[in-house]
Amino acid sequence: MIALLLTLSACGTAQIAPTATSTPLPPSATLTDTPAPTASVTPSATITRTPTITLTPTITETPTITPSPTFDLPDVVVNTQAHCRYGPSKAYLHAADLYPGDTGVVWGRFAYSAWLWIKLDKINYACWAAPSVLDVTGDINTIRYTTPDLMKVGSNQYGPPHNVAATRDGNQVTITWDRMVMTEDKDRGYFIEAWVCQNGAYLWWTVSFPDQYTTTYTVQDDSGCKEPSKGEIRTVEKHGFSEPVPIPWP
């Protein structure tokens, strides 16, 4: 049986087994290694220290010093022989002799009289003179007012008068005081400075006495002025004035 089958197989048409045709495969995709994404490292900001700005000092220009104008004091020339005194009236002590041709400058003036405080070239201190004995060059209105300080004039060894009193009879005021005993060579009496009302005007009033023996004085003093009348008295010796004593004005 087996042989018959083999014979039949041999006698049959030979069938060609189909040849396998290689069908080309589509190309395999080339695997390209995709690089793994590199982590993008964001750099940390580097802290750059900003340098401290040093301010350049502003140059301030030094102001130019403009010299103050030199004040030109009025000049004086003495035209008549006279006295220069320690205050602005004839009642004050003698301070120096004035002779025609003496020169100097005006240092001050007084508010209540026309007398001028002058510094003569020939002496080292100032004194007061009446304008009538001076020829003045310059504007005395630019000169400051000044008041004499009698406590800076020399010295006084006797002290002020004692028991100063005043009485009124109408418009007459009488001032009295005790005698101050002084040696004859030093005796210059007394000095009164007062403010009185006369004929409606409030006046600065000065009077002096030649020696220690005069111990009373009467002055006119009317009513009607706004300011009160007042006064003071001093002992005077050749070296200077005593402290003032107020007059108890009635």
CA–CA distance, 118 with 77 (Å, rounded to integer): 10
Q: What is the pLDDT of residue 65?
A: 56
CATH number at residue 87: 2.30.30
- Tokens for 85? 């005194």
Q: 232: exposed, middle or buried (C-beta count within 10 Å: 0-12, 13-18, 19+)? A: middle
pLDDT at 19 over 70: no
Q: How confident is the model at residue 70 (pLDDT cuts 50, 70, 90)?
A: low
Q: What is the pLDDT of residue 127?
A: 98
Residue 198 lies in a domain: yes
- Domain's final residue, options 103, 129, 148: 148
CATH number at residue 216: 2.60.40.10
Q: Are residues 238 and 158 located together in one domain of the fold? A: yes
Residue 128 lies in a domain: yes
- Angle in degrees, CA 191, 196, 202, rounded to 5: 130
CA–CA distance, 126 with 120 (Å, rounded to integer): 7
Q: Are residues 208 and 156 located together in one domain of the fold? A: yes
Closest CA to 168 of 203, 122, 101, 219: 219
pTM of the complete model: 0.71
The number of folded domains in the chain is: 2
DSSP letter for 249, please: -
Q: Are residues 178 and 240 located together in one domain of the fold? A: yes
Q: What is the pLDDT of residue 25?
A: 41
106-130 pLDDT per residue, tens? 999 999 999 999 999 999 999 999 9
Q: How confident is the model at residue 60 (pLDDT cuts 50, 70, 90)?
A: low
95-109 pLDDT per residue, tens? 999 999 999 999 999
Residues 6+ apart with CB under 8 A from 38: none
Structural domain boundaries enclosing 97:
75-148
Q: Are residues 168 and 241 located together in one domain of the fold? A: yes
189-237 pLDDT per residue, tens? 999 999 999 999 999 999 999 999 999 999 999 999 999 999 999 999 9
Q: Are residues 102 and 123 located together in one domain of the fold? A: yes
- Domain's final residue, options 95, 126, 148: 148
Q: Are residues 172 and 123 located together in one domain of the fold? A: no
Give the largest Cα separation in the chain, rounded.
Answer: 205
- Domain's final residue, options 126, 148, 170: 148
Residue 46 lies in a domain: no
Q: Are residues 240 and 156 located together in one domain of the fold? A: yes
